[in-house]
Structures are given as C-alpha cells and as structure tokens.
Amino acid sequence: MKKLLATMLILLASVSAFAQENAIPAEFHPFKDKGSFIEIFRTSSIIFILVLIAVFLITVIKLVLDARLKRDLVQRDAPVEIIESLFSRKGKYQNAVKIGIILVSIGLGLLLVGVFNSMGIYSAAIMILCLSVGFIGYAFWVKNLPGE
C-alpha cells in the first residue's frame, strides 16, 4: 500500500510541477492540450521503461536463484518428486498466451483510437473496452482448457 501511495504521489508531483508553469485555464482538458499530453506521455514512458527494467532484473535474479537451488538439491540427492514439484513449468504456456492476448487487445485499442482519431475520455474508454475484451477472451480460453 505504501508503494502504491508513493508512486501515485510521484506521478501527481510530476504532473503538478509541469502545471505550475502556466496558469490553468477554466476549461482545462489534459488530453486535448498538446503540451500536457506530451508531458503525461513522457512521464508514463519513463515509468514504463523503469518497470520493464525492474521486471527484467527480478526475472534474471529468479532464474539464477532457481538454478542454484536446483544444483543444491541435486547435489544433496533430494527425491525427484520434490524437485519436480518445486520447479514445474505448468502455467508457463498460459502466462505467455495471457500476455499475448493482452498485447493484441492493447494494439487493437490503439488502432481503434487512431482510426477514429479520438482524444480525451473516448480514447481511454476505447482502450479500457479493448483490454476488458482481451481479459474476457483469456478467461474463456482458460475455462475451456482440458483438465481445468
């Protein structure tokens, strides 16, 4: 909860620091104002890149620690069932398909936003709709898997 609050405060501070440069007009629309939109996009891009780097580092650390644990278990002659239960690859395929479906739905949403040339709340609504359709499609796919 503290991390979420800190992240939200950092985002709010970056947007509000940019907003102090000029007086805010009475009808301020952050997605219609080109300068605000570019600043929000830059901030979001930086955060996205930092998240990608963090996920990559965590994945590399997990792989190294898993390999070390496997090596130690094999050296100590642990039962095969224990090793298989600890390091089963069940669900890896489902995770890849989930990520693929989500990325396709994001791409479809961006395509629809570009085709309809919508800005503001309509672009957010199109993206949310496409993401929800992607998640629903994934849920139906998982539901119809054999053995589930």
Residue with tokens 């939109």: 37
Give me the mean pLDDT over the 81-88 stretch. Answer: 76
- Decide which of 98 and 33 is more confident: 98
CA distance linking residue 16 with residue 131, whole number of Å: 28
- Decide which of 110 and 8 is more confident: 110
Give me the mean pLDDT over the 35-59 stretch. Answer: 84
pLDDT per residue as tens digits for the range 125-141: 888 899 999 889 888 88
Mean pLDDT across the chain, nearest whole number? 79
- Decide which of 1 and 122 is more confident: 122
pLDDT exceeds 90 at position 61: yes
Q: What is the pLDDT of residue 91?
A: 65
pTM score over 0.75: no
Of 121, 141, 117, the closest CA to residue 129 belongs to 121
pLDDT exceeds 70 at position 20: no
**Helix and strand numbers, DSSP H then E, in the chain:** 5, 0
pLDDT exceeds 70 at position 16: no
In the chain, the percentage of residues whose pLDDT exceeds 70 is 80
Q: CA dist 116 to 18, 38, 81, 124, Å?
A: 29, 20, 55, 13
Burial per residue of 1-16, b for 16 or more beta-carbon CB atoms within 10 angstroms, e otherwise: eeeeeeeeeeeeebee
